[in-house]
Structure 1
Amino acid sequence: MLLAGLPSRAQDDSITVRNGNEINPYQEKGFKKERLFTGGGVTASFYSGGTVLGVSPVLGYTFNRYFDGGIVLNYVYTGTRDVYEYNDKLRQHVYGPGVFARAFPIDFLFVQAQFEENFTSVRYTPATNNNVNPGKYNANAPSLLLGGGYSTGRANGSSTFFYVSIMADVLKNRNSPYVDVTYGPNGEERIRILPIVRAGINVGLFQNRYGRY
């Protein structure tokens, strides 16, 4: 009797085989290493008398299909010649940490808020055989960058994509690397916000061969 009942019971137990390209509706709660991502962007600009090089690596976490967050490190080097006279040099280093949050109302569009604390070091070297003294300048400033951008497609369960964004520093600190400081005819200081255009890549960590967690 027991053996006779086994085939019928086996037919009642259904076995479901899930397509690896389909999204698993079951999501585990708590921290998942598969939600971690890295990436960032690079900057490279060369022009007559100047060079700009930069890098901004990130480490982030995908909380759900709508929100990402993480930390970022910034470094930008700017070298310029013939600033005030022929053959003088100006070297600037900007570096600092930051935290960011991104919201994706649509898979390919996002809004972003990023807080940074940037440190600036400037060194001026006058031309040879000049009576002008060399100079140094150090400063730091907080920045709150707000803006948005476009990604190549952030599918549910995937943290790997390319993106481009535009943001602005709404704090307008005079020592921020994202503002331009000028002076009016009466010596009044004017601070103008500069648009920040960035492009980069997010790379999901510990994800399976389908690029999903």
Structure 2
Amino acid sequence: MIMKNSVLFACLMMLATFAVAQQNESNEQPKGFKRENMFFGSSLNLSLGNRFFNVGINPELGYSLNKWLDAGVALNINYFSQNASDFSNTRFRNFNYGAGTFLRIWPVNFLHLQVQPEYNWISSSQKNVITGQSARYNYNAESLLVGIGYGSRAVGSQYSYVTLMIDVLQNINSPYRDQFNDPLPVFRAGFGVYLNRKKQ
């Protein structure tokens, strides 16, 4: 229940930020939807560590609300594997897909902060390497990724970025936490274009 409330709180904070951003921009630019502010892109998700590996793709569709704020929706497809260790005899192979929203804040033109609540559906294959027993599980989990990144962004043209995030919720089923519930670092390298690019 606490995790669901955290995701709901993050979504409400994003909506509040949208409203404030729109109000601030109303004095600078004419009101209304601008097609050249819509963008489509994708990022590659990758994390490596001692005995674990995670890779995925994350297509996104968003809108630049102003010169410093992007918001949108994103999908994710991930594969995660973790080998047995001295502390656990279980080997994990997980496949998950999910969806969520994101908020990307650009305080300066090369640096951004990102908040991304997600909901994930996970299929897990687990095997005890000592006994040979294996099992499959299906479950779901919320996650709340937060992080910082470097990139470039020209509203109406294109963007690219590299972001480092972690899942700040403590849901043991999250695809971004290991079997000991420690957060896994998530690296995402993304790029995209605006749908109605401005003519140079």
TM-score normalised per structure 2 = 0.70
Segments of 4+ in structure 1 off by > 3 A?
Answer: 43-46, 50-53, 124-127, 131-134
Q: How does 1:31-42 map to 2 (within 5 A)?
A: 31-42=33-44
The structure in which a higher percent of residues are helix is 2
Which deviations, in whole Å up to 9, do the C-alpha atoms of 1:34-80 show, x marking residues without a partner? 1100111124799xxx9855211000000110110000000012468
Equivalent residue for 1:102, pick from 95, 104, 109: 104
Q: Does 2:124 match 1:122? A: yes
Report the CA distance shift for 1:66/1:140 in structure 2 as closer, same or farther (over 3 A): same
Match of 1:201 in 2: 191
Distance 1:45 1:63 in 2: 30
Distance 1:53 1:72 in 2: 16
Equivalent residue for 2:57, pick from 48, 55, 58: 55
Coordinate RMSD, CA, aligned: 3.1
TM-score normalised per structure 1 = 0.67
Equivalent residue for 1:192, pick from 170, 177, 182: 182
* One-letter amino acid matched to 1:135: A
Answer yes or no: is the 8 Å Cα contact 1:60–1:70 preserved in 2: yes
1:99 positional shift = 0.2
Match of 2:174 in 1: 176
Q: What fraction of aligned residue pairs are identical, expressed as a percent?
A: 40
- Show structure 2 runs of 5+ residues with no match: 1-27, 86-90
1:123 positional shift = 2.7
Q: Which moved more, 1:157-166 or 1:171-180?
A: 157-166
Distance 2:93 2:46 in 1: 16
Q: Does 2:149 match 1:149? A: yes
Secondary structure at the counterpart of residue 200 of structure 1: strand
Distance 2:46 2:176 in 1: 17
